[in-house]
Amino acid sequence: MPRTSCCAAGWRSSEVRVSPDLDPDLREELLRRTMREARICAGLSHPSIVTVHDVVREADRPWIVMELLRGRALDRMVEEEGPLPPRRVAEIGRRLVAALEAAHATGVLHRDVKPGNVLVLPDGRVVLTDFGIAVSDTEESLTLTGRLPGSSGYVAPERLRDGTVTAASDLWSLGATLYFAVEGRAAFERASQAERLTAALEEQPDPMRLAGPLRPVLNGMLQYDPRHRPSGRELDVALASVADAPQDSTPTRLDVSELKGAWREVTPARGRGTMAWAPPAPTAEVGGDGRWWRLAVSVVAGIITLIVAPLLVEYLSSLLFPDDPPEPSQVTATQDAG
């Protein structure tokens, strides 16, 4: 883990610790890469990304001088307050999506998005931390020492499978982070790390009970195949539809058509459903009483149908069949004599 010291001037310094057991050449390459990526992160400027002021190398160790923030990590907040409301989680999610989009636009991947790296400040600001720290330290450790490339339960399946890292991998990790925030538990809650990793590779996320309108959004973010996950822009639209919903409109059973955009299951494959972005066709806005009005109209129409239908049948029958056919008369045949 990085070693951190604080300063009264409003910034903190964090030392990136590198394993001393590495081959000297590999260690030097890791240090160069850490410095390079940290300097890139220092060029990022976004309200939801911790500000990096400077990057220096002293005593053969890289130090990152960054903004000092006083707030609670998301994992601590959930531990103290319990699962957060879906609307609040959607608001947090929108800020983190914006942060990742800003980073990805410059070619920076976070690679360790998790509740412990999300700070919620007293004024409501949400900040994604530890850019350029966990990146190099943990990613290189996968190939050099066999350690996990990130945090168990928050590493995208493709990273566990073959080491592939893309922007979609960060969004998967964000989905797992938001899942934890709204459910109060990990998406793949298992007894051991090995079981968690296996579940992430072979199983669907555990069923959600508290996510409400966030359920289809999280299902989309946690898709096994990166190609089937939503983009940052699509996520912002979907999360906004949840965050901006009226306080009393959170359904217990979600009709995905109520979202401005939603994911629907289109192709089951190997036990996993494929979630695709499927925005519903635009419909007219209906007020809060519209649902009752439609119900009343349906009931009245049903009553009218029950009354009118028999009368209509009788009327049509009288037109088509005005009278009962007469009984056949008895005709006596006579023969003319003679």
Q: Catalytic residues, which ones?
A: 112
DSSP 60-113: TEEEEEEE---SEEHHHHHHHH-SPPHHHHHHHHHHHHHHHHHHHHTT------
Q: Are 65 and 12 in contact (CB under 8 A)?
A: yes
Three-state DSSP state, 254: coil
Separation CA 111–CA 125 (nearest Å): 22
The pair of three-digit structure tokens given for residue 116, joined into one six-digit string? 């412990």
Separation CA 247–CA 27 (nearest Å): 53
Q: Are 177 and 113 in contact (CB under 8 A)?
A: yes
Q: Return the H-helix or E-strand segment holding 276.
A: strand 272-277
Three-state DSSP state, 3: strand
Separation CA 313–CA 321 (nearest Å): 12
